[in-house]
Structure 1
């Protein structure tokens, strides 16, 4: 954001009372283009819509539930309906804030926001993909939602030049089973692949990057390469996210030769408290759970 503020005089940053010290460098570059909107996220979203319709390129940033479901009407009517060029960033998505309980989980956001017209829905795997998607969203001026992790997730994608919205990538190829994931949880898939290799089992792993738009050409390539069983992996409810998107794609393409198993949180509120790794394990979306599933297949 600091670099974008240097490059473009229309880039603005709106924060919902979070991480203000992390924006110190940005504020040195663009002090008049940073607004701490406090815990008034619906107002913040309406402000961003108005700024966008006035020729600016606002980026809205706060914890995912508070930049999505708390201000859903403002996203739908103020931004998407008017095709206002706002980028909405939800930080700490999925179970990143697992120790704070269900109010801070975001396991419904993909399902809800991908149903809204005109809105791109992204979940970058790492910081490299995030940067590419952010630049593209601001450059093209399309309403865009980007869900990210909390902090410290490893960079998993190396080909920075080919990253962007609606672009999927293989991380690893091989075997008959293909895991398609979205977001930082793909680190669990790569760990599972390493564990499976010790048992002479190959697992192909791919990053989708976004589910609206979905990379139709990449999915057709996966079909052509003959993977007989697909697994979808997401730090989100099984309902309405990546797994549901793939099922819809199969239906639209009239593909009935591939089996799909969806890995995600089942349809319930998660009451367990603890580290993200602990809750991922308890919800069956960690590396060991992936290994067990692949073995059973």
Structure 2
């Protein structure tokens, strides 16, 4: 996905004279040529996340379109107040691309984890939150959103889906139609969700836009009043989004996601997936039990 990101950013800088790209040290080596060719609009500022959010908001107020690239928790958590005050309150647009996802930096400790990123950013009114699952999906979403004048957050992942799906900003994609329940998959959870649902008579919806949330597609495809959510972020991140349908109908909701606790176990990203149950085998068992429950 980093290669797709580099290609998209390069095209943006080459084709838009008001576009700027700001690196926060990480990834700077890969953009040396771009920094040399466009020294006024491509810069490596160094480790200065909260400060650079405010600086780039000032650039946005002057008519530039800034894009910032950094590590997820250092942008989302360390700089949240600056995103709120300097972007949302000032009503200016820009792009923030982060790497690390929930725990892609699995061996660097909890300081580099951020399963709370989507839920945290959803507290900012009007932000666009894009969660592509493949490099192609990143390209699609970035090209649709990067120059639209809004604050856009692009969540990059290292462990991409093998299943490719054509996506569109702001829209869920129905991948399978069934009658026993509805299963929602987000971002990189698609592969394990599809594997888990292969022999289940369920509807499967795939979301790569976390905000704004496509509630209409969900409302049109709730089967047997059951919704099961597979989310590679904090479990329950989207309960507020689906609240309107829960308050109207008698609907059961369950799912799998990252538990709201400090992840103290060691190992690879795959080890952590197994530990918290983001595997096809566990999801299949959970959905099967969910479908058989009395409402």
Q: Structure 1 residue aligned with 2:132, among 93, 104, 124?
A: 124
Deviations 1:39-68 (A, max 9, x none): 110111112111111111111111100111
Deviations 1:87-114 (A, max 9, x none): 1122111121122221111111112111
Matched, 1:288 2:281: yes
Matched, 1:209 2:208: yes
Q: Pick which of 183-192 and 84-93 moved more.
A: 183-192
Deviations 1:235-271 (A, max 9, x none): 11124x134432x2324xx332331103112221101
CA distance in 2, matches of 1:34, 1:50: 16
Post-superposition offset of 1:175: 4.5
Which residue matches 1:189? 193
Structure 2 vs 1, CA of residues 117 and 189 (structure 1 numbering), >3 Å: closer, same or farther? Answer: same
TM-score by length of 1: 0.87
Structure 2 vs 1, CA of residues 205 and 88 (structure 1 numbering), >3 Å: closer, same or farther? Answer: same
CA distance in 1, matches of 2:32, 2:203: 41
Which residue matches 2:149? 141
User: What do you get for the CA RMSD once the two structures are aligned?
Assistant: 2.0
Post-superposition offset of 1:11: 1.7
Aligned residue runs from structure 1 range 1-297, under 5 A = 1-24=9-32, 26-27=34-35, 30-150=38-158, 153-154=160-161, 156-159=163-166, 163-164=168-169, 166-194=170-198, 197=199, 201-223=200-222, 226-239=223-236, 241-246=237-242, 248-251=243-246, 254-297=247-290
Aligned partner of residue 99 in structure 1, secondary structure:
coil
Structure 2 spans left out of the alignment, 5+ residues: 1-8, 291-295
Structure 1 spans left out of the alignment, 5+ residues: none
Structure 2 vs 1, CA of residues 87 and 271 (structure 1 numbering), >3 Å: closer, same or farther? Answer: same
Deviations 1:166-219 (A, max 9, x none): 11112333352322122112222123234xx3xxx3343221222321113211
* Contact 1:5 1:29 survives alignment (8 Å): no
Number of aligned positions between the proteins:
282
Post-superposition offset of 1:155: 5.5
